Structure 1
Amino acid sequence: MNTTPLSPGWLPEGTVYGTLLNFRHELALWAPHMNEAPYQAPPKAPVLYVKTANTFTPTGQPIALPSGASVEVAASLGLVMGAGGVAGIVLLNDVAVAHDSYYRPPVRTRCVDGFLGLGPECVPLDALGGLDALRELEIELHRNGVHKQTTRMSEWVRDAVTLLTDVREFMSLRPGDVLMTGTDCLPEGGRELVHAGDTVEITAPGFKPVVHSFVAEESA
């Protein structure tokens, strides 16, 4: 695994939105619980959350782990909006404090300082063959040089076109905004956990690697 720090070349210019339950396996695992309180029905629209600007960590820079927290990582594609629609795609490492519920994911688990690892570039959509071609992509996640997960876009519940269409039914996306297409879980339902001293590398065809090391949070 290449752990050489890469020069950051891209930062989000708008709001970053994450998407939950957009992979078939995780949706199937949650299905038995979706008729329980509080909503008593499966979600009909995409379930979104926000990754705030304090979470942005360029590739090659370390991410600090809060003391005592169980922290998970997962690979995602981000649709970067331009004036006429999707302008490009970025590879991301979505970091979160591990939690059980998919209902209204709290800011405190998703928006910890540094908890969105950014790819070094926004790849033009045309270079990847358009939105439909994204369904053929596979993303590899390695921790400390060991392969831990392959995320296949063919397993999306909503492909990129459908996700965009459904999100735009209830909100606008502006140039510079980023819509993440979701993260997949591991076979047992969780996501890869990281600890201080770990290095995570995320790769996909057509993208430069996303590399982040994890360190213990400094005491105040």
Structure 2
Amino acid sequence: MTLQGTVYGTLLNFRGEYEAWQPKMNEPPYKAPPKAPVLYVKTANTFSPNGANIPVPAHVAEVEIGATVGMVMKSAREVAGYVLLNDLCVPHASYFRPPVKFRCLDGFLGFGDRVRSRNEAGDPAVFTLKVSVNGELVQTVRFSELIRSADQLLADVGEFMTLGEGDVLMLGCAGDRPRAKVGDRIEIAMPALGSLVNTLVAESA
């Protein structure tokens, strides 16, 4: 698979993540919980295919693993299929408007090579991902914990923007994200979608 469209991440769509940040939602500058989905863009320089090494800058001690599934669009409201994603980011203090420098470093979006239709992959509400670092299970992501289901997320996003063919909309990442460092091999797996493997390496000087 090759990513050809725009990739949109979704914040605050897992119950645990939302509840962790809920106490701050009434603080400035927003002063209220978000009513619409909170999105961000993973720029094209972040794309890393399955099996690729991902460079980590020397000043970054650890990265957060963002195991998720992306909806690959066939048209504005039609999903062509689902793909595994690893939305890496540098640990930071806010989910509301995180700077690009934390999320859009070179190579910081691993993507799987298998896109499966709903008939093949099943209902996204029951997706379960297993995340391993160096062969050790570090996280289980259950999409039954989504606030907005895949269908509802797509409908709500469609209220304020139009997705195009090839665009990818992430379902979101669980709040308790495991971390990894240079030298670690990260694997995200789900039987219907295969596995996504990337290794973190030191960025070349």
- Interval containing the TM-score (normalised by the shorter chain): over 0.9
Residues of 1 paired with 2:74 and 2:13: CA distance?
Answer: 23
Matches within 5 A, 1:93-112: 93-112=86-105
Given that 2:14 and 2:174 are in contact with CA atoms closer than 8 Å, whether structure 1 keeps it comes out as yes
- Of residues 171, 175, 199 in structure 2, which corresponds to 1:213? 199
**Aligned-pair CA distance for 1:27:** 0.6
Residues of 2 paired with 1:168 and 1:203: CA distance?
Answer: 29
Residues of 2 paired with 1:106 and 1:123: CA distance?
Answer: 32
Provide the residue aligned with 1:85 in structure 2: 78
Residues of 2 paired with 1:180 and 1:37: CA distance?
Answer: 27
Cα deviation digits, residues 166-192 of structure 1 (max 9, x gap): 100000011110000100022xxxx21
1:99 partner letter: H
Matches within 5 A, 1:19-98: 19-69=10-60, 70-83=62-75, 85-98=78-91
Cα deviation digits, residues 23-60 of structure 1 (max 9, x gap): 00111111111100111111111000001111000011
Given that 2:130 and 2:139 are in contact with CA atoms closer than 8 Å, whether structure 1 keeps it comes out as yes
Cα deviation digits, residues 111-150 of structure 1 (max 9, x gap): 1000000101211222123xxx111110010001110000
Given that 1:80 and 1:88 are in contact with CA atoms closer than 8 Å, whether structure 2 keeps it comes out as yes
- Of residues 138, 161, 165 in structure 2, which corresponds to 1:171? 161
Name the % identity: 51
SS in 2 for 1:103: coil
Residues of 1 paired with 2:202 and 2:29: CA distance?
Answer: 36
| Worse-superposed segment, 77-86 or 133-142 | 77-86
When normalised by structure 1's length, the TM-score is 0.90
Matched, 1:184 2:174: yes
| Worse-superposed segment, 29-38 or 77-86 | 77-86
Matches within 5 A, 1:143-158: 143-158=133-148
- Structure 1: which 5+ residue stretches go unaligned? 1-9
Please provide the CA RMSD for this pair.
1.0
SS in 1 for 2:138: strand
Provide the residue aligned with 1:162 in structure 2: 152
Residues of 2 paired with 1:212 and 1:42: CA distance?
Answer: 35
Residues of 1 paired with 2:128 and 2:30: CA distance?
Answer: 33
2:155 partner letter: T
Given that 1:35 and 1:42 are in contact with CA atoms closer than 8 Å, whether structure 2 keeps it comes out as yes
2:185 partner letter: T
Given that 2:121 and 2:193 are in contact with CA atoms closer than 8 Å, whether structure 1 keeps it comes out as no
Residues of 1 paired with 2:197 and 2:190: CA distance?
Answer: 12
When normalised by structure 2's length, the TM-score is 0.96
Residues of 1 paired with 2:201 and 2:3: CA distance?
Answer: 24
| Worse-superposed segment, 156-165 or 119-128 | 119-128
